Chains A and B, each alone.
Chain A
Amino acid sequence: MRVALFVTCINDTLHPDTGRAVITLLERLGVEVGFPEEQSCCGQPQFNTGYRHLTEPLVRRYERAFRDYDYVVTPSGSCAAMVRDNYPRIAAEGRDSRDLAEAAARAVPKTYELTEFLVDVLKVTDVGAYYPHTVTYHPTCHGLRMLRLGDRPRRLLEHVKGLELRELPGAEECCGFGGTFAVKNPAVSAAMGADKVRAVRETGAEAVCTVDNSCLLHIGGMLRREGAAARPVHIAEILAATEADTRKPAGREGSPR
């Protein structure tokens, strides 16, 4: 089984810890993971803002980068959903669409979001993790409604030793990030984020966890601005943590300033 990590541009640039956590976790589970360096961005920001044609080279690049692998695993629900739901659409509307359609057809079935890969392919729910903290889980919109992750992330979290899962009120409501939505409709985005952050604080959990760092960028940015105790943490970083882990507990601390 040849498995590649698709780290995604946000994780690559802003959250390399998440990528490292996926490597640690998969290797612990006996999976050898490669990282083809030709990979870049899935094209979601361009596609969702109306620049579909700019995503065509990225579809080709994605297919080329992962051609030699059986599985592509990504710690991002929204990037996985972008590949699976939108690559065929991009190809269908493309100008010289035959090779695009072939590229999409090869890329789509091998692409898995991390929790899907763990539960559906590796068939594990107990990954031997240890994370002695209270955590609340926010099911991101793309994980919930496009990928239909269902209870996979929760089943993984429930098997983490020491972890206490707290219910998030209004969990299925969007946090208000939405990529360029946060910039184009800042007032509404901030109002949605404020409600999400209030819900996180209500749980009293030490950490808020998702399958997507992009949502955490927004939720975490608001938590930091409010000086809230809860910290954003990607599920990969929780699942990678073990009792033997002598490093600091996973989860983002304050700004390095």
Chain B
Amino acid sequence: MSGTYLGMPAFPTAAASSTQDGRLRANLRYATHTIRDKRAKAVAELDDWARLRAAGAAVKDRTLRHLDHYLEQLEEAVTAAGGQVHWAADAAEANAIVARLVRETGEREVVKVKSMATQETGLNRTLAEAGISAYETDLAELIVQLGDDLPSHILVPAIHRNRGEIRDIFREQMGRWGRAAPEGLSDAPGELAEAARLHLREKFLNAKVGISGANFMVAETGTLVVVESEGNGRMCLTLPETLISVVGIEKIVPTWQDLEIFLQLLPRSSTAERMNPYTSMWTGTTDGDGPRTFHLVLLDNGRTDTLADTVGRQALRCIRCSACLNVCPVYERAGGHAYGSAYPGPIGAILTPQLRGTASELDASLPYASSLCGACYEVCPVAIDIPEVLVHLRERVVQGGKVTRRGVKTVLKPAKGHAAERAAMRAAGFAFDHPGVLRAGQRLAGRTRRLHPRRLPGPGHAWSDTRDLPPVPAESFRDWWRRTRGEEQGK
């Protein structure tokens, strides 16, 4: 990994190499199975889970339908509470706003707490180009940053690393960024945590500027909410003089009563906890407590376009719990990096091609990164029908169609490289709609059965490389029926 998703290969290519990585497969299998079993138990404790899930989906849908209204309400409330609101249409604009705000403070260092939105926009690179060092303070994000790596999971960004790898990264890299790892650091979790604590404490106490994301924004009061396990987020949110929060516009909930639903859905779905250890909430600025200056950067970056798609918009309900990643058999084998985006796994496969479009080979391959097994839909706490959106996006890739890009309705051309498939699908469609043709094909296959190759040519070799082809029977069912029952049944 080189610290950027740019220029990544299409999913099948990336996944082909990651599935060969035995250590990665073992790390992922252990971690995802542990967390999925715990989640199932935590969810089973609530007898109203199905109703909570429906309520979560309904609140999100209603909010998204009136997103303009709630965003304006939020802006008003944040401003009234002493904060400043900035609107960013895309990643470049968001990064430019943040870089300018940091420069205006005169500081050259910032602490960050995990913000998927800034991972999405690639903020750290923009800051580095502006001569500003950004320190990730979420433990897993710290591991990823020190290793010049990329996150591979929404909740556990360093899920692909084991303890031994983390110890090596700490030993080799911590000194370059600040306080070095203690001599003789072992891979014991306690020692690793202590090394991270000492390294980060220095950053927290020196930082004058903090950058965060938010899990939720409550429109009625302008309150932002961060849900976390470590307490590092609270340090970032309360110690610096200036706080800049970069948040996707879909993270809004209208009222505190709505928030109640999501504070039940999120912890159980993500960490399998009844409640997460730290829930920090802040509303603008408060005299004598916390940051003196608060900026909220509201990020669109493809979200309004996604909202214009009546099938695909349900992806915006996502509360980033990562339950879909932890049950996904494809994610478990391929790993998060193969998805080439801050959003890996099933939700990434439907969110990324909507936020970024399907023009690149990678983005066009993401809707196919699923066997449509449906496990992701079953666990999603806000009932996003991920398989439905995957198939919808596949149609967009192979057929093109109407989409909205940057607020303008356009007609998308079909993606390249599907011509042979399209021809085969049409031919099959013709045969299936003309049973006489189908029957002729079956008879030909039956008569030539002893000539069939063991390995298939062309794209079919992917099948026969690892599986034997089934033998073709001498007689199809429909021929058997006609031979044995045809007369008595008329035809």
Chain A: residues with CB nearer than 8 A to chain B? 7, 9, 11-17, 19-20, 34-35, 37-41, 43, 45-55, 57-58, 61, 89, 141-142, 144-146, 172-174, 176-194, 217-218, 220-222, 224-225, 255-257
Contact = CB atoms under 8 A, between A and B. Distances in A.
A55 B329 CA distance: 28
Given A37-B491, A51-B429, A255-B471, A225 B375 contact: no
B15 interface: yes
Contact of B433 (A40, A141, A146, A186): A40
Contact of A19 (B12, B334, B426, B477): B477
A43 B433 CA distance: 10
A190 B466 contact: yes
B421 to A, nearest CB: 7
Contacts of A173: 329, 373, 375
Interface string B332-343: 011000000000
B459 A183 contact: yes
Majority secondary structure, B binding face: helix
A178 B373 contact: yes
Contacts of B481: 19, 35, 37
Contacts of A222: 466-468
Nearest to B391: A48
A49 to B, nearest CB: 6
Interface string B1-42: 000000000011001100110000100000000000000000
Interface size class of B (residues with CB under 8 A): 35 or more
Contacts, number: 200
B470 A220 contact: yes
A76 to B, nearest CB: 12
A224 B429 contact: no
A141 B372 contact: yes
Interface in B210-253: none
A146 B374 contact: yes
A191 B330 CA distance: 9
B472 A49 contact: no
B480 interface: yes
A216 to B, nearest CB: 9
B438 interface: yes
Nearest to A78: B372
Nearest to B14: A187
Interface in B449-488: 449-450, 459-460, 462-463, 465-473, 475-478, 480-482, 485
B445 to A, nearest CB: 7
Contacts of A89: 388
Most B Cβ at <10 Å: residue of A49, A180, A192, A224: A49
A14 B449 CA distance: 11
Contacts of B292: none
A257 B333 CA distance: 34
A48 B477 contact: no
Interface of B: 11-12, 15-16, 19-20, 25, 329-330, 333-334, 367-375, 377-378, 388, 391, 394-399, 421-422, 425-426, 428-429, 431-433, 435, 438, 442, 445, 449-450, 459-460, 462-463, 465-473, 475-478, 480-482, 485, 489, 491
A7 B477 CA distance: 8
B331 to A, nearest CB: 9
Contacts of A49: 394, 398, 421, 425
B145 to A, nearest CB: 28
Contact of B334 (A55, A145, A182, A188): A188
Contacts of B375: 141, 145, 172-174
Given A12-B478, A46-B428, A184-B12, A192 B371 contact: yes
Contacts of A256: 449-450, 471
Contacts of A184: 12, 368, 462
A43 B368 contact: no
Query: What 9 pairs across the A-B complex have the smallest Cβ distances?
Result: A178-B371, A221-B467, A50-B394, A186-B462, A174-B373, A145-B374, A16-B477, A187-B16, A141-B373
19 contacts: A17-B473, A41-B432, A45-B425, A46-B429, A49-B394, A54-B429, A55-B429, A57-B433, A141-B374, A141-B375, A144-B374, A145-B375, A179-B372, A181-B370, A181-B371, A184-B462, A187-B333, A188-B369, A257-B471
Given A38-B435, A51-B395, A191-B333, A255 B468 contact: yes
A172 B425 CA distance: 30
A47 B468 contact: no
